Amino acid sequence: MKFEEAMSLINQKSKIKRAASGYRIRFEVVEDGQRVFDYFPETFEKGIKSIKRAKRLAEKFTNKTDYQNICVTNNLHQPIS
């Protein structure tokens, strides 16, 4: 990748982050013997607007299921700490 292309992606990424479409809960599932990530709400659905609500839902989801590696992500699927 050319330097200019990388810089363009970096600049786009920061613009997208400011225009976040909500948060999602990411969790790990096993499909065909491999661990993969899944999300709710689905990517095509509206995200969760509030980070507080997303964290509460993630906590409840953790307590009620056996899924692993559960976390809240932004619209770029990056974990939120």
User: Could you report the per-residue pLDDT of 17-72, keeping only the tens digit for each?
Assistant: 443 479 999 999 888 889 999 999 988 888 999 999 999 999 999 999 888 999 99
Report phi then psi at 38, rounded to 5. Answer: -130, 165
Tell me the longest C-alpha to C-alpha distance in the chain.
Answer: 47
Rounded CA-CA distance 3/63 in Å is 45
- Residue type at 63 in one-letter notation: N
Tell me the residue type at 21: S
Query: Is-above-0.75 flag for pTM?
Result: no
Length of the chain: 81
Sheet holding 34-40, edge to edge: 34-40, 24-31, 68-73
Paired with 71 in beta bridges are: 26
User: pLDDT band at 16, cuts 50/70/90?
Assistant: very low
